[in-house]
């Protein structure tokens, strides 16, 4: 989005400061709204839609019904259990209900930031990022839906000696990559499932474009004038991606297409914490009763990934397990 004086805005649903995830060192991680996938296990369901949304905190509801009266879309109705219920398919995210909720049971999710405002945020945390070898990571959702804004943020970061990292699912036109890559030091690239049919079943689309873009990305990295690094990420989801055939299949794909072109392959343990997010959005989540992975399950996945001739130090398990 372009506002006055050609200043770009990005729609962000969360900012993690001094994070030690999503790249090396201490990082400021910007989570942008909008996603091209609908992963059934998604950790950030608030990222699906690019526009602002309204979250519901039923424990704060006083049952006054004022939000129902003022909603211009008729997206709210009374609910015996939770006080009210939001029809997210009707809600436009205008936030009028949240602005006037006396109990603070409704809150807006998603905020527009100008690139200048983001530059100011990064400048405050620059000393920590520089000292730790960190930087700024832009994640999502799929951040390249807002490729123009990401490009401008990265341009300003690079000019200010702040390292940049892009966290992407890869399901986006290559033209969006081309805008951002000249200002990107590190790409965190998701490979979720090797089988195209299962990928479509689990995420809403097959993996053809994702794999094509990854190969193009490797070709880009190989050019001598480019210094972009690459990390691969695979979520370990019980009953979905945490399968021997999938992990070994991804390992085979990496070996055949980019054996020495990536620096790290992260196997990311399933996290059940997003339950509250789904509840706030009034959404069902089929993984709400799935526990943390056990350390044994994580070790088994590492064994599958290391079954080919990879440097074992490149492949690591990230995230909590139930034995940690």
Tens of pLDDT along the chain (324 residues) come to 444 445 689 999 999 999 998 999 999 999 999 999 999 999 999 999 998 999 999 999 998 999 999 999 999 999 888 889 999 889 998 999 999 999 999 999 999 999 999 999 999 999 999 999 999 999 999 999 999 999 999 999 999 999 999 999 999 999 999 999 999 999 999 999 999 999 999 999 999 999 999 999 999 999 999 999 999 999 999 999 999 999 999 999 999 999 889 999 999 999 988 999 998 888 899 999 999 999 999 999 999 999 876 788 899 999 988 876
Q: Number of helices and strands (H, E) in the chain?
A: 10, 14
Q: Six-digit token pair at 223?
A: 């050019």
- Whether residues 246 and 133 share a domain: the answer is yes
pLDDT at 324: 61
Picking from 69, 92, 109, the residue at the C-terminal end of a domain is 109
* Domain coverage including residue 98: 53-109
Instruction: Find the CATH number of the domain harbouring 95.
Output: 3.30.70.20
Report if residue 238 sits inside a domain.
yes
Report if residue 77 sits inside a domain.
yes
Which of 28, 84, 95, 90 is CA-nearest to residue 60?
Answer: 84
Write the pLDDT tens digit of every residue in 249-265: 999 999 999 988 999 99
| Separation CA 184–CA 166 (nearest Å) | 7
- Whether residues 151 and 293 share a domain: the answer is yes
Bridge partners, residue 269, by sequence: 236
- CA atoms within 13 Å, Cβ hemisphere of 105: 21
Q: Six-digit token pair at 22?
A: 């999503």
| Separation CA 82–CA 66 (nearest Å) | 15
pLDDT at 280: 87
- Whether residues 116 and 218 share a domain: the answer is yes
- Whether residues 283 and 159 share a domain: the answer is yes
| Separation CA 136–CA 57 (nearest Å) | 31
- Whether residues 10 and 75 share a domain: the answer is no
- Whether residues 222 and 85 share a domain: the answer is no
Contacts 24+ apart (CB under 8 A), 125-128: 125/17, 125/18, 125/26, 125/28, 126/160, 126/161, 126/162, 128/18, 128/26
Picking from 85, 109, 133, the residue at the C-terminal end of a domain is 109
Residue 15: what are its φ and ψ, rounded to 5°? -135, 120
Instruction: Find the CATH number of the domain harbouring 272.
Output: 3.20.20.70
Q: Sign of the CA dihedral 52, 181, 188, 26?
A: negative
Backbone conformation region of residue 154, classed left if phi is above 0, alpha if psi is from -120 to 50, else beta: alpha
148 three-class SS: helix
Which of 159, 155, 146, 173 is CA-nearest to residue 9?
Answer: 146
What is the length of the chain? 324
- Whether residues 258 and 165 share a domain: the answer is yes
- Whether residues 89 and 151 share a domain: the answer is no
Report if residue 324 sits inside a domain.
no
Picking from 70, 90, 109, the residue at the C-terminal end of a domain is 109
- Whether residues 247 and 133 share a domain: the answer is yes
- Whether residues 38 and 59 share a domain: the answer is no
| Separation CA 323–CA 176 (nearest Å) | 41
Instruction: Determine contact, residues 266/234, Cβ cutoff 8 Å.
Output: yes
- Whether residues 139 and 84 share a domain: the answer is no
Bridge partners, residue 230, by sequence: 187
Report if residue 323 sits inside a domain.
no
Give exposure, 224-236, as e/b (b: 16+ Cβ within 10 Å).
eeeebbbbbbbbb
pTM score, whole prediction: 0.92
Number of domains forming the structure of the chain? 2
- Whether residues 79 and 42 share a domain: the answer is no
Bridge partners, residue 84, by sequence: 78
Q: Six-digit token pair at 205?
A: 């689309």
pLDDT at 322: 81
pLDDT at 215: 97
């Amino acid at each position: 989005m372009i506002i006055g004086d050609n200043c770009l805005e990005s729609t962000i649903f969360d900012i993690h400061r001094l994070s030690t995830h999503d790249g090396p060192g201490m990082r400021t991680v910007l989570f942008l709204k909008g996603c091209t996938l609908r992963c059934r296990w998604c950790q950030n369901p608030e990222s699906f839609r690019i526009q602002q949304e309204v979250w519901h905190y039923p424990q704060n509801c006083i049952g006054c019904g004022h939000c129902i009266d003022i909603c211009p879309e008729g997206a709210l109705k009374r609910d015996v259990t939770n006080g009210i219920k939001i029809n997210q398919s009707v809600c436009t995210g205008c936030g009028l209900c949240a602005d006037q909720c006396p109990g603070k049971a409704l809150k807006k999710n998603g905020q527009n930031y100008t690139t200048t405002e983001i530059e100011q945020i990064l400048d405050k945390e620059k000393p920590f990022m520089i000292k730790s070898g960190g930087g700024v990571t832009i994640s999502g959702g799929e951040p390249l839906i807002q490729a123009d804004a990401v490009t401008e943020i990265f341009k300003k970061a690079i000019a200010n000696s702040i390292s940049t990292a892009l966290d992407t699912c890869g399901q986006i036109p290559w033209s969006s990559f081309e805008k951002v890559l000249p200002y990107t030091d590190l790409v965190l690239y998701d490979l979720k499932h090797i089988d195209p049919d299962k990928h479509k079943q689990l995420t809403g689309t097959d993996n053809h474009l994702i794999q094509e873009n990854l190969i193009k990305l490797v070709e880009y990295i190989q050019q001598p004038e480019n210094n972009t690094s690459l990390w691969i990420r695979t979520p370990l989801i019980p009953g979905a991606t945490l399968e021997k055939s999938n992990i070994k299949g991804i390992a085979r794909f990496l070996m055949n297409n980019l054996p020495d072109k990536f620096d790290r392959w992260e196997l990311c343990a399933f996290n059940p914490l997003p339950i509250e997010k789904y509840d706030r959005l009034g959404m069902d989540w089929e993984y709400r009763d799935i526990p943390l992975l056990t350390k044994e399950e994580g070790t088994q996945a590492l064994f599958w990934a290391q079954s080919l001739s990879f440097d074992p130090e490149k492949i690591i398990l990230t995230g909590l397990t139930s034995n940690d």
